[in-house]
Amino acid sequence: MHWLDALPDARVLRDPGLTAAYRHDESHVYGPAPHAVVRPRSPAALRELVRRAADAGATLVPRGAGSGKAGGCVPTPGSVVVDLCDWPGDIVVNTTNLSLEAPASAALAAVKRKAETHGLWYPPDPNSWPLCSFGGSLATNAGGPNACKYGMTRRWVLAVDALMADGEIHRFGIASVKQNTGPNLAQLLVGSEGVFGLIVGATVALLPSPRERLTVLLPLQRVDALPLLPSRLFAAGLMPSALEFWDAAVLGDLRAHGPAEARELPGEALALLEFDDAGCSGPGFAEHLLDALGALGAQARVATGPTQREALWAVRRMTSVHLKQRFPAKVSEDIVVPRDRLPDFFARLPALGTPMVSYGHLGDGNLHVNLLHAGELDDAALDAALAPLFALCIELGGTLSGEHGIGLAKRGAFLRHADPYAIAALRGIKQALDPRGVFNAGKVF
């Protein structure tokens, strides 16, 4: 009898034809076919699964929609993928607490829509929000353009429901913004990529939906004006809810090969700004913005309504998809550089000697630097090509990942650059919470 036979309240997939799709996510990392894929439907299934995995010496790899970009849900040899797509639960909004509770299986798009039906808003908006799962966004501490003003997923998490190594589901936290009873275990689990436990649901904070938005497309005639934009806006007392950018190379490719709406994008480089302050749709706010931009705002285009706003954001959100279609084996890094060091970064990037293009979240220094021809490189050559980029980020006070996480894709680089004390501490926590290595062993650290 196989150790996964007769697992209660779960569907177990062992046919290689069905499990092959679980070998990869949206990163360049491919793993072996998993030993099996389990789709649990109740706590009883998880309780028994943890017990059996511990006895069999197997590790459980959690998976949401498979839209991650760091190989965090990619199987390792002999592992079992836990696909939470069948996990039950409703999305429930509490308008008094300004909170929302949802199962990990819920689509992030459904979570955001549910909040909107109550006139409320859940800010995290990773580029994959139309298709990623709520649980996956929690496990990876997903970001997105709104992180410029509203921070990452972690900022919004009040409580987490998680399967831990004892086989039980525990709730860490309460549905309140104030809770101060020692270290916050919910926050430890958010962004942990499933190495400490398996998130099955969470309660998150909401805000009243913004009543106004001002969206501005800002063509720039000089690329070196890009890294100066954040400080210029902040100095004028302006905090955009999003500040995105395209460099000259990405813009050129969109013009030459992109969809019709992208082929007339202006400028040598391009920024997309959005504000959601009260009064931002009035003429006084726009005038103040243009005054702050000075000559840089000479060609600014203000969206005149929701349709035009959505059209501008559609181009931004399809940029990654466009590049992936054009360069299927590209590798997209999501490095972070502190905003005050952005001019240094852009000035030194060409000297690295590796052809790269960049776009992304200028407002928080989270840059998507793409090696378009990475598919021509073997693993060692790819690591060698990325090493100077990572070293430059660290030298400038930044880090290897802003929102994609570490997973398998950046584990080696993370171990090389991280403080050994921090790695030892993380491994100590892992040993305390998961002494038998049941959860996603071999990932991150």
Same domain for 195 and 237?
no
Residue 261's pLDDT band (cuts 50, 70, 90): confident
Residues 173 and 342: their CA atoms lie apart, in Å, by 37
Q: State the amino acid at position 330 in one-letter form.
A: K
- Bridge partners of residue 63, in order along the sequence: 83
The residue whose two tokens read 């960049």 is: 358
Q: Return the SS3 of 35.
A: coil
Instruction: Indicate if 257 and 282 belong to the same structural domain.
Output: yes
Q: Reduced to 3 states, what is the DSSP secondary structure of residue 304?
A: coil
**Using CB atoms within 10 A of its CB, is residue 424 exposed (0-12), middle (13-18) or buried (19+)?**
exposed
The CATH number of residue 185's host domain is 3.30.465.10
pLDDT score of 251:
94
The pLDDT assigned to 59 comes to 98
CA distance 212 to 304: 12
Domain enclosing residue 192, as ranges: 92-208
Looking at the fold, whether 228 and 284 belong to one and the same domain comes out as: yes
Q: Do 268 and 388 share a structural domain? A: yes
Answer whether residue 167 is part of any domain: yes
Residue pair 200/234 in contact by the 8 Å Cβ criterion: no
pLDDT, residue 325, reads 93
Q: What is the mean pLDDT of residues 2-18?
A: 95
Check residue 189 and give its pLDDT: 98
Q: For residue 149, what are its two tokens?
A: 């003003």
What are the tens digits of pLDDT across the range 173-218? 999 999 999 999 999 999 999 999 999 999 999 999 999 999 999 9
- Beta strand residue intervals within 23-174, DSSP E: 36-40, 60-63, 80-83, 92-94, 99-103, 120-121, 157-163, 169-173
Burial class of residue 380, CB neighbours in 10 A (0-12, 13-18, 19+): exposed
Between residues 265 and 62, the one the model is more confident about: 62
Instruction: Give the per-residue pLDDT at 374.
Output: 87
Residue type at 99 in one-letter notation: S
| Residues 41-89: tens digit of each pLDDT | 999 999 999 999 999 999 999 999 999 999 999 999 999 999 999 999 9
Instruction: Say if residue 201 is in the same domain as residue 256.
Output: no
Determine how many CB atoms are found less than 10 A away from the CB of residue 168.
12
Task: Say if residue 13's pLDDT is above 90.
Answer: yes
Among 258, 372, 441, 418, smallest CA distance to 28 is for: 372
In this structure, is residue 406 part of a structural domain? no
85 lies in a domain?
Answer: no
pLDDT at 438 > cutoff 70: yes
pLDDT value at position 375? 79
Query: What is the Cα–Cα distance from 212 to 374, expressed in whole angstroms?
Result: 42
Say whether both 247 and 391 belong to one domain. yes
Q: If you write DSSP's letter for every residue of 358-400 in order, what string do you get?
A: EEEEGGGTEEEEEETTGGGS-HHHHHHHHHHHHHHHHHTT-BS
Q: What is the dihedral of CA 244, 350, 295, 318, to 10 degrees?
A: -30
Report which DSSP code applies to 349: G
In-domain check, residue 23: no
Distance (Å, rounded) from C-alpha 109 to C-alpha 218? Answer: 28
| 115 & 241 share domain | no
User: Rounded distance, CA 249 to CA 346, Å?
Assistant: 13
CA distance 194 to 196: 6
pLDDT at 1 over 80: no
436 is a domain residue? no
> Are 227 and 361 in a shared domain?
yes
Q: Give SS3 for 11.
A: strand
Q: Are residues 238 and 185 in the same domain?
A: no
Beta pairing class for 60-63 and 80-83: parallel
The verdict on 143 and 275 lying in the same domain is no
Residue 227 belongs to a domain with what CATH number? Answer: 3.40.462.10
Q: Of 208, 234, 258, which residue constitutes the final position of a domain? A: 208
The CB density around residue 355, as the number of other CB atoms within 10 Å, is 12
Tokens 């429930």 appear where? 92
Q: Please tell me whether residues 203 and 291 are part of one structural domain.
A: no
Whether the CB-CB separation of 174 and 159 falls below 8 Å is answered with yes
Q: Which residue in the block uniquely carries the two structure tokens 């952005």?
A: 342
Within-domain flag for 99? yes
Sheet holding 214-220, edge to edge: 301-302, 214-220, 269-275, 242-246, 357-361, 366-371, 331-336
Residues 6+ apart with CB under 8 A from 32: 23, 75, 76, 77
pLDDT mean over 416-443? 98
Q: Residue 24, SS3?
A: strand
Give 346-392 pLDDT, tens digit per residue.
999 999 988 899 999 999 999 999 999 887 889 899 999 999 999 99
Confirm if 220 and 268 have CB atoms less than 8 A apart. yes
Specify the residue for token string 């040598």: 268
pLDDT at res. 63: 97
| Pairing relationship of beta strands 207-208 and 120-121 according to DSSP bridges | antiparallel
290 and 300 in contact (C-beta within 8 Å)?
yes
pLDDT tens string 90-138 = 999 999 999 999 999 999 999 999 999 999 999 999 999 999 999 999 9
Q: What is the pLDDT of residue 304?
A: 82
Picking from 395, 412, 435, the residue at the C-terminal end of a domain is 395
Q: Which of 94, 148, 146, 106 is nearest to 124 (CA)?
A: 146
Mean pLDDT on 139-148 = 97
**Which of 178, 208, 238 is the C-terminal boundary of a domain?**
208
pLDDT tens profile 217-248: 999 999 999 999 999 999 999 999 999 999 99
Give the chain's domain count.
2
**29 within a domain of the structure (yes/no):** no
Same domain, 344 and 304: yes
What average pLDDT does this structure show over 397-402?
A: 97
Summarised one tens digit per residue, pLDDT across range 293-347 is: 999 999 999 998 899 999 889 889 999 999 999 999 899 999 999 999 999 999 9
Q: How far is CA 88 from CA 11, 100, 190, 247, in A?
A: 14, 16, 20, 43
